[in-house]
Amino acid sequence: MKYCNLIFAVLLAAVGSMGNETESLFQRLKNDYAAEPSIESVNDVLQKLRNDGTWPGITYDKKGDTPIKHLKNIRKLAEGYEHFCTMSEQKDFCGNITKSVDNSLKYWFANNDKFVSSNWWTNEIGIQQEFAAVAFLMWPEISAPLKQKIISQFPETPSRTGTNRTWISELVVMRGVLEQREPMVHLGLREIESTILETGAEGHQVDHSFCMHGSLLYSNGYGKVSISIASHWAFLCKGTRYAFSPKTQDALTTLALEGNRWMMWKGMVDPMTMGREITRKGENKDALGFLPIIDRLASVDSVHSKEYDAWRREVKGSNVLRGCRYYWRGEMLVCRSNDFYTSLKMSSKKTVGSELVNRENRKGLWLGTGVLSLYRHGYDFDDIHPLWDWSKIPGVTSSREYEQSEKYLTNPSEFVAGLSDDNAAVATMEVKKKGVNGKKTWLFVDGKVIALGSDIRSERDDEITTSLDQRYFRTEVLGKNKLNVVMDSIYSLDAVWHDSIGYKSLDGKPFQLQAQKRKGNWKDIGTQRGEESDSLFTIWRSHGVKPKAEKYAYFIEMNVGKKQFAKWAGKNDVTILANDGKSQVVRYQSQYVAGALYEAQTIEVKPYKIMFSAPCLFLLRQQGSELQFVVADPTKKQEQMKISVEKNVKGKAPLEYSANVFFPQSLEAGKSVNVLFEL
C-alpha cells in the first residue's frame, strides 16, 4: 500500500511539474508578445470601433481577401491592455478595451466564413498568428465561448512541409499551451525540431543550404523564417523538459553558421538566396533582422559564442569570413574576403532556378542560369531590381525574352557543378533554356573571375547576349583612355574600368557597354508599388541572332585601382587551354589549372599529361612536387573515375601515376573529392 501511495505521489508531482512548465511557457509567450504602444495609438483604435464591432476603412466583403487589419486592430487593443492595464487602476479605459475586444471578436466569428483568402497561408497561418498575440496577452479577460472559438482556429496536428510545417507546428504548440495539453506541446515542438534536421526534401540540406518549393534555394527567405522560429522555441524552452535535443541544436547551429551566415556580407543579404523575395523593396538590406536570431542562438549555444559575436559584427558592416564555399544541393557558390563578395547562382534539372508565385518575380526567367553577383560594398545592388534590364542579368547568357509565365522553371541540363578549395573555386553549367544553349565555366581566385563560354547556340530570332555586369553607374569609365560616356550610347571596348572593377576580354573580341537613366516600379516585378530611378552601367558581349557555335572568354577583377588600370589591362596571367564543346580549361598564373570536361579528356600542363577517364569538373593546384586535385561529378550519376598523370622527364621514360576517384552518392552526389599526387 505504501508503495502504491509512493507511485501515486510521484505521478502527481510529475503531472504538476508538467503543468507548471506549460504555465511557464504560457508566461514566456505572453512576455514575448508584450509591446509598448502609445496610449494615443490605442485610444485611436478604441474610438474608431463601431457599435457592430467593425472599423471604418477596412474592406470586409472583398471575395478572396481576408480583412486581416481587423485582427491587427484587436491585437493593438490587446497590447494596450497588457501594457496599461495589468498594473493599472484605469478601470474605465481598461474596461473599454475588454468590451471592445469582446465586441470585435464576436463580429469576426459571426462572419468569418466569408473571410477566406485566396492565399492558403493567410487562412492557415496568418490569421492564427494574430489570434496568438491576442490570446496570450488577454486570455483571462476573454469569455469562455470566445476562447473556444479562438482555440478552434489553431491546428491540432502539424501538416505541410519545410518552413510551412515549421509555421504550422508552432501553432500546434500554442494550442497545446492554451489548452494545457502537454502531449500536444511536445508534438508541435518535436515537429519544429524535425524541420531543422538535415533532409533530402524541402528544408535544411546536407550542404547547409535551405530549399523550398521543391528544390529552390531559399536560405535567406524561408530558411531565415525556419531558423527564426526554431531559435525562438529553443530559447523559450531552454531549461525545461521541452528543451531541444543536442542533435537538433547542432543542426540549427550548422544551418545558421555554415549556411545563412556565408550568404550575407557587410549588412547585405544575397538576393540570389531569397527566391521571389528579390522583388520586395529593401529585403536584401534587412541583415539587421538577423540580430534577434543571432542573440537567441547565442543564448542556447554558448559553445559558438565567438562565431555569433563575429556574425553580429558582419551584420553591422564588418567581415570576418574569408574563402570560397560551394553548396552542391543549392547549386550556389560564394567567395568572400574583406574587400569583396562574389556569388554564382546556377540551376540544373534537379533544382528550381526561378519561381513565379503570388504574382511575384514576373521577370525572373533567367534567374538561376549563372547569375554572377559582384559586390565591393554591401549596398551595391540595393533596390536595383525594378531598374534592371532582366534580359541582361549579370553573368547570364540569354535572349531578349525575360517574362516568366511558368510557376517553376528549371534548367533542363544535368551538367552543373561547383567546388571550392580555400580561396579558389570553379563552377560549370550547361544552359538549356527557352531555346538558348551554351556551356559556361568560371574560375574564382582572390577576387578575380575568369569566365569561359562555348558552344552557344540558338534558333531564336532575337539577339543572344552574355552579360558581364549590370550595376549602378557610379564613377567615370576608363577604356584605353577616360571615356566621356553619353547616356544611351553604346561603346565597344576590350578592357573597361568602372567603380574599381576591371573587365578584360581574353579572346580579343570587344564588349559592349552602355550607361542609361532608368525608371522602374516595384509593381512591374512583384506586388509592391513605388518608383525607383537611377543610372545603370551595363556591360555585355553580343553573340548575334541565331548563333551556331559562339564563345566568349573574359576576366574580371575586383578592386582595381584607377591609376593601375592601364597596366592591369595589358597584363595577362591567363592561358586558355580549351574552350569548345568538349572542354573548357584555363590556367591562371602557374598555380591553378581548372576546368570542365564534358567527356573523357587528356590535357597537357607541361611537364604533365593528365588523363581523366570521365566527364568532370576539376581544380588543380601545383605546390612543389605535389599535384592537388579537387574533383566533382557534374552529372551526379557517376560512382567513380580514374585520374592518370604522366610526367615527362628529360632523357628518361615518363613517370606514371594514377588514382581512382570515388564520388559521393545519394544526398552528397555532387560534393567534391580531394585527390593528392606526390610526384
Q: What is the pLDDT of residues 257-309, one digit of tens each?
A: 999 999 999 999 999 999 999 999 988 788 999 999 999 999 999 999 999 99
What is the overall mean pLDDT for the chain? 94
Measured between alpha carbons, how far is 380 from 392 in angstroms, rounded to an integer?
A: 17
Integer angstrom CA distances of residue 487 from 490, 500, 513, 514, 536: 9, 20, 11, 7, 10
Nearest residue to 259 (alpha-carbon basis) of 308, 196, 327: 327
Band the pLDDT of 651: cuts 50, 70, 90: confident
Say whether pLDDT at 3 is over 60: no
Q: Residue range 196-203: average pLDDT? A: 96
For residue 12, the model assigns a pLDDT of: 32
Please report which confidence band the pLDDT of residue 378 belongs to, taking 50, 70 and 90 as the band edges.
Answer: very high
CA atoms within 13 A on the CB side of 325: 20
Please report which helix (H) or strand (E) contains residue 244, including its range.
Answer: none
Average confidence (pLDDT) over 388-404: 97
What DSSP character marks residue 524?
G
Residue type, position 413, single letter: S
| Separation between Cα atoms, residue 395 and residue 74, nearest integer Å | 49
Tell me what pLDDT residue 14 has: 38
Gap between the Cα atoms of 343 and 325, Å rounded: 10
- What's residue 4's pLDDT? 41
* Bridge partner residues of 640 (DSSP): 662
User: Which range among 80-89, 360-369, 441-450 shows the weakest confidence by mean pLDDT?
Assistant: 80-89
pLDDT of residue 89: 66
Q: How many CB atoms neighbour CB 184 within 10 A?
A: 22
Q: How confident is the model at residue 590 (pLDDT cuts 50, 70, 90)?
A: confident
Share of the chain above pLDDT 90, in %: 91
d(CA 8, CA 385): 66
Residues 6+ apart with CB under 8 A from 50: 56
Lowest mean pLDDT among 35-39, 350-354, 366-370, 480-484: 480-484
- Residue pair 571/504 in contact (Cβ under 8 Å)? The answer is no
Average pLDDT over residues 620-649: 93
Provide the Cα torsion 215, 217, 221, 226; round to 10°. Answer: 60
pLDDT at 607: 87
Q: Which three cell numbers stand for residue 311?
A: 556574425
Question: What burial letters (b/e) apply to 4-18, b meaning 16+ CB within 10 Å?
Answer: eeeeeeeeeeeeeeb
d(CA 618, CA 585): 9
**pLDDT of 652 above 90:** no
pLDDT at position 5, please? 44
The per-residue pLDDT for 17 is 45
Mean local confidence (pLDDT), 38-66? 96
R_g over Cα of the chain: 29
**Residue 284 pLDDT:** 77
> What is the average pLDDT across 390-408?
97
* Residue partners of 271: CB distance under 8 A and separation at least 6: 278, 283, 284, 373, 381, 385
Q: Is the peptide bond prior to 664 cis by the omega test (within 30 degrees of 0)?
A: no
Domains of the chain by start residue, with CATH: 14-153 (1.50.10.100), 341-678 (2.70.98.10)
The whole-number pLDDT of residue 19 equals 58
Can you give the pLDDT at residue 13?
35
What are 379's three cell numbers?
549596398
Residue 217 has pLDDT above 70, yes or no: yes
* pLDDT given at position 91: 78
In terms of Cβ atoms closer than 10 Å to its own Cβ (0-12, 13-18, 19+), residue 280 is: buried
